[in-house]
Copies of this chain bind each other. A is one copy, B any other.
């Protein structure tokens, strides 16, 4: 699931404590089950957070946009329970947990920032769970809307497979739905990126009219 919430947190002020790293597209920043010695701030680029489910199928749980934090799980000396992969070349800052905890002691006003960030992640997960009560069509509609909001423009830099992984559906299902939307002019597909032309048509009340089945 993609964050339906704004990022107005101020991690930027802490960048001086972090070490900058450059990450190439398709490279993992951290991997599920491995131990990490800190967390990351995304400065530029785009990162997807995936989790390998029981059957080995990946599930895309979160898309991290610049200004956001990832990998906080290691604050707890626990292995990562997700994998972070750059979908665009990225610039990240790494923070050591130990050092962050030290900083926190002298600057306790940072704590709200931490709890806010964690709560946001928690909400994202909970939203992903709630989404399962919707039809696949509604799920993908909300997904696209959230992504659009995140990117401020209406381009969606995800493949059909990734969209499917977001919602826990198959690529075929996603394809069928997108096809209908393409035909009715809600979205446009040109060289492998979607552009949402009519976000209003993806809003809940409008959706019922669209059926995923041929007449």
B-contacting residues of A (Cβ < 8 Å)? 51, 53-55, 57, 59, 61, 73, 75-76, 78, 81-82, 101, 104-105, 108, 111-112, 115-116, 118-119, 121-123, 125-126, 128-134, 138, 168
Contact = CB atoms under 8 A, between A and B. Distances in A.
B130 A51 contact: yes
Nearest to A124: B125
A138 B73 contact: no
B126 A82 contact: yes
Given A76-B119, A129-B59, A54 B134 contact: yes
A129 B54 contact: no
A123 B168 contact: no
B76 A130 contact: no
Chain B CB count within 10 A is highest, among A57, A122, A123, for A122
A59 B122 contact: no
Chain B CB count within 10 A is highest, among A51, A119, A131, for A119
A105 B108 CA distance: 7
B133 A168 contact: yes
Contacts of A108: 101, 104-105, 108
A61 B101 CA distance: 30
Nearest to A116: B76
A37 to B, nearest CB: 15
Given A76-B115, A119-B76, A125-B122, A133 B61 contact: no
